[in-house]
């Protein structure tokens, strides 16, 4: 049996008629940049996140950058995040002219460890970016307490956490702003590149909306020096259709995760994903941890099962950030996790038979070992 890591074609097949119709409508109306369909999507996505506004933009990377710019982060500032994330998180910090400052993660979730944040705060610190990795929100209560105490902004990197909750509140609604990616493989995926920032801070929403449209409040009247970060019209149209299905797809991911957990529960040698009290994961990824990661990955590959590594090298050890001066051993939890994590196939359309086959092959591997 073959179990691909991701299968975007299947989803398209299920909603083809609706997608084709809205794409044709974009062409008919020539609303290619921004336009009514992206506006409509923004008006759907904000309440989905429990926020007042959503500002659509070009990508998740740009959403993070837009939020930091909107909050006034600039040269000389420091922004705290974790090394266990996709590099876009820290790129956004670097491209404001600020410096990323890393703190280590919690072993069981790979999310920011709130107990380590205060030690990383300096007079230059302006903001904290907790990353809701794999679809589970970071432990936000202690992080918000620390931010309030030190007068810091909080930008949630919710690029993997569309619809995830923490104590009943949705990803993106707890910090000053929440940033989402609609990269095709994300839980809510466009047919190209797209992203959005959500917020309930009216002033911040206005600043970001103006900035992403060349700093103009009215055509050719530029109040600030901005940038072109508008959302593509086709992407707004596709995402608008997909909003009808996101809750169902999330439930299917959660059911798939529950079946994985059941099948893998008794296998010695692996840890299945841990969800903290009060949180609900939307399982962007289903990440197990094991000391025999490389051997298991090779065995699964031989048996037709594709897996992934998210992410193999923590950011502080990336060549791109050599100049920050971090050393191996600096963030031991993140470094050990990077060697033990393995992402199993996870998407709504995954069939029960495929999940059972993955479970069986993982069982076989550890029986042999
Ligand atoms: C995907 C992702 C991003 C970047 O989103 P793009 O749309 O690819 O620019 C940022 N942070 C995290 C955690 C992501 O998973």
The verdict on residue 271 lying in a domain is yes
Would you say residue 3 lies in a domain?
A: no
| CATH number of the domain to which 60 belongs | 3.40.640.10
Task: Determine the pLDDT at residue 217.
Answer: 85
How many separate domains does the chain show? 2
pLDDT digits (tens, 9 = 90+) for 10-35: 999 999 999 999 999 999 999 999 89
Same domain, 185 and 256: no
Is residue 1 assigned to a domain?
no
In a domain, 154, yes or no: yes
Contact 160, 343 (CB under 8 A): no
Confidence of residue 327 (pLDDT cuts 50, 70, 90): very high
pLDDT at residue 55 greater than cutoff 90: yes
pLDDT tens-place string over residues 275-324: 999 999 999 999 999 999 999 999 999 999 999 999 999 999 999 999 99
Q: Is the CB of 86 under 6 A from ligand 1?
A: yes
In a domain, 224, yes or no: yes
| Cα(139) to centroid(ligand 1), Å | 20
For ligand 1, the distance from its centroid to the CA atom of residue 224, given in whole angstroms, is 27
Of the residues 85, 86, 195, which should be mutated to test ligand 1's pocket, given the most ligand atoms within 8 Å of the CB?
Answer: 86
231/251 same-domain check: no
Does residue 81 contact residue 90 with C-beta atoms inside 8 Å? Answer: yes
In the chain, helix, strand, coil percent, each to 5?
Answer: 40, 15, 40
192 and 64 belong to one structural domain: yes
Where does a domain end: 214, 242, 270? Answer: 242
Q: What is the pLDDT of the chain when averaged over all its residues? A: 97
**Statement to judge: residues 275 and 232 lie in one domain:** no
Same domain, 227 and 283: no
Reported confidence tier of residue 211, pLDDT bands at 50, 70, 90: very high
Task: Count CB atoms within 10 A of the CB of residue 100.
Answer: 23
pLDDT of residue 279: 98
| 210 Cβ contact partners less than 8 Å away, ≥ 6 residues apart | 216, 217, 223, 224, 226
- 83: its two tokens: 């090394």
Positions marked catalytic: 186
Tokens, residue 58? 């070009």
**Tell me, what's the pLDDT at 90?**
98
Same domain assignment for residues 237 and 250: no
One domain, residues 230 and 272: no
Share of the chain above pLDDT 90, in %: 99
CA-closest candidate to residue 358, choices 338, 336, 342: 342
* Domain presence at residue 98: yes
Helix (H, G, I), strand (E, B) or coil at 217: strand
Domain final residue, candidates 202, 221, 242: 242
Measured in Å, residue 195 CA sits from the centre of ligand 1 at 9
Number of Cβ within 10 Å of residue 352's Cβ equals: 10
96 lines ligand 1 (CB under 6 A): no
| pLDDT higher than 90, residue 369 | no
* Domain identity same for 187 and 275: no
Q: Tell me, using a 6 A CB cutoff, whether residue 187 lines ligand 1.
A: no
Say yes or no: 265 and 129 in one domain.
Answer: no
Choose among 349, 211, 355, 364: nearest CA to 299: 364
Find all residues with CB under 8 Å of 163, minimum gap 6, and list them: 48, 49, 170, 171, 187, 246, 247, 250, 282
Measured from the Cβ of residue 121, the count of other Cβ atoms closer than 10 Å reads 18
Q: Is 82 in the pocket of ligand 1 (CB under 6 A)?
A: no
The mean pLDDT of 209-222, rounded to a whole number, is 94
Same domain, 14 and 40: yes
Mutate to test the pocket of ligand 1, among 56, 57, 61 (most ligand atoms within 8 A of CB): 61
Together in a domain, 163 and 31: yes
Q: Nearest 5°: phi and psi at 216?
A: -105, 130
pLDDT over 70 percentage in the chain: 100
Domain assignment present for residue 2? The answer is: no
CATH number at residue 287: 3.90.1150.10
Instruction: Dump pLDDT digits (tens) for 61-113.
Output: 999 999 999 999 999 999 999 999 999 999 999 999 999 999 999 999 999 99
Q: Which residues constitute the domain of residue 299?
A: 246-368
Instruction: Answer yes or no: is pLDDT of 368 > 90.
Output: no
Ligand 1 geometric centre to CA of 357 (Å): 30
Note whether 292 and 151 are same-domain residues.
no
Q: Kindly report the CA angle at 7 between 4 and 10, in degrees rounded to 5?
A: 135
Is ligand 1 within 6 A of the CB of residue 81?
no
Q: Is 229 in the pocket of ligand 1 (CB under 6 A)?
A: no
CA distance 156 to 159: 9
pLDDT in tens, 237-279: 999 999 999 999 999 999 999 999 999 999 999 999 999 999 9
Closest CA to 210 of 197, 233, 227: 227
- Residue ending a domain, among 192, 220, 242, is 242
């Amino acid at each position: 049996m073959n179990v691909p890591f991701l299968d975007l074609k299947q989803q398209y097949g299920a909603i083809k008629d609706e997608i084709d119709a809205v794409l044709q409508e974009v062409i008919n109306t020539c609303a290619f940049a921004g336009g009514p369909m992206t506006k409509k999507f923004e008006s759907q996505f904000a309440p989905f996140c429990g926020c007042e506004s959503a500002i659509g933009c070009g990508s998740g990377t740009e959403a993070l950058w837009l939020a930091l710019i909107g909050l006034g982060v600039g040269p000389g500032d420091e922004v705290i995040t974790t090394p266990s994330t996709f590099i876009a998180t820290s790129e956004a910090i670097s491209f404001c002219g600020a410096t990323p400052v890393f703190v280590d993660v919690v072993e069981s979730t790979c999310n920011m460890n709130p107990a380590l944040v205060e030690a990383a705060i300096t007079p230059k610190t302006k903001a904290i970016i907790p990353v809701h990795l794999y679809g589970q929100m970071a432990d936000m209560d202690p992080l918000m307490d620390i931010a309030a105490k030190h007068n810091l902004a909080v930008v949630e990197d919710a690029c993997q956490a569309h619809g995830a909750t923490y104590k009943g509140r949705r990803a993106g609604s707890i910090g000053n702003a929440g940033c989402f990616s609609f990269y095709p493989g994300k839980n809510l995926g466009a047919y190209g590149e797209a992203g959005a920032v959500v917020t309930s801070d009216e002033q911040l929403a206005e600043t970001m909306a103006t900035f992403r449209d060349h700093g103009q409040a009215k055509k050719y009247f530029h109040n600030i020096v901005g940038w072109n970060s508008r959302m593509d019209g086709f992407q707004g149209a596709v995402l608008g259709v997909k909003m009808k299905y996101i809750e169902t797809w999330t439930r299917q991911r959660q059911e798939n995760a529950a079946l994985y957990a059941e099948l893998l529960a008794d296998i010695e040698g692996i840890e299945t994903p841990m969800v903290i009290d009060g949180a609900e994961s939307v399982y962007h990824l289903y990440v197990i941890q094991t000391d025999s990661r490389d051997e298991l990955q090779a065995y699964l590959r031989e048996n037709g099962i594709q897996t992934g590594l998210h992410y193999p090298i923590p950011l502080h050890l990336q060549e791109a950030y050599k100049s920050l001066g971090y050393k191996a051993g600096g963030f031991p939890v993140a470094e050990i996790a990077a060697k033990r994590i393995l992402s199993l196939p996870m998407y709504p359309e995954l069939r029960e038979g495929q999940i059972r086959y993955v479970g069986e092959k993982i069982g076989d591997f550890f029986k042999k070992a």
